[in-house]
Amino acid sequence: DGGITQSPKYLFRKEGQNVTLSCEQNLNHDAMYWYRQDPGQGLRLIYYSQIVNDFQKGDIAEGYSVSREKKESFPLTVTSAQKNPTAFYLCASSFGTTGIYTGELFFGEGSRLTVL
Amino acid sequence: GENVEQHPSTLSVQEGDSAVIKCTYSDSASNYFPWYKQELGKRPQLIIDIRSNVGEKKDQRIAVTLNKTAKHFSLHITETQPEDSAVYFCAASNYQLIWGAGTKLIIKP
């Protein structure tokens, strides 16, 4: 069953702690993305990666970090430097690499992070 | 910076009626315009998209129209059904996708 898997679905964190959100895809897509979704706002791009071992900052990268050691995996770390980390985080992938958006984005089911 | 404005933020229509959601973009170089549907608690999914060399595209009950001169594009849903209830997001892309804030569509029985 092909698709994108995010984990955990729900996560609680104390202030000052780093947390890592997992994103795995078996669609053989080259490009992967992390978005943040807040109520009443559109999706905001945190980081994206078009190829293994390479990634680029999006619009709101401060306080976040990523890695792309394998084509299938693109984990996101929310660091203690992120001032307002409580949000819904969506991972996505797409087939194309010639531009960062060349077609359909396939999303995971999301991870809801709450900072206590 | 580049932005996409989406209206209305909430739209309530009677089942069977039509619904129209409008988006305006600022980057005249934008050439790809997708629409995503996000049902409550689920992931966004692409429902239709259009490229700048096309003025209109239809897929059963949904259609998208694009006016490049005015820099706006619209989603049209005809004969609305309860399963159309969701949040709809528009986006525009030149190189990077810029998203609208979303429209919550409510279908009244």
Chain A: closest CA distance from residue B48 (Å): 9
pLDDT on residue A102: 58
For B61, the token pair is: 């009950």
Query: Mutation test of the interface with chain B: which of A35, A43, A111, choosing the one with the most B Cβ atoms within 10 A?
Result: A43
Q: Lay out the sheet containing B72-77: strands in order across.
A: B4-7, B19-25, B72-77, B62-67, B56-59
- The amino acid sitting at B102 is G
Strands (E), A1-116: 4-7, 10-13, 19-25, 31-37, 43-51, 54-57, 64-66, 76-78, 87-94, 106-107, 111-115
A42–B43 C-beta distance less than 8 A: no
pLDDT at B95: 78
A104 with B6: Cβ contact below 8 A: no
Q: Determine the pLDDT at residue A97.
A: 53
Regions of chain A with pLDDT less than 70: 1-2, 97-102
d(CA A14, CA A85): 11
Residue ranges, chain B, pLDDT below 50: none
Specify the pLDDT at position A98: 46
Dihedral of alpha carbons A105, A110, A111, A114, sign:
positive
Cβ separation B99–A44 shorter than 8 A: yes
Residue A99 Cα to chain centre, angstroms: 18
Who among A58, A104, A109 is closest to B43 (CB)?
A: A109
Q: Which pLDDT score is estimated for A40?
A: 79
* Mean residue pLDDT across chain B: 94
Residue A42: closest CA among chain B residues belongs to which residue? B101
User: Residue B89: its chain A contacts at CB < 8 A?
Assistant: 42-43
Q: Note the residue count of chain B.
A: 109
Are A107 and B44 inside 8 Å of each other by CB? Answer: yes
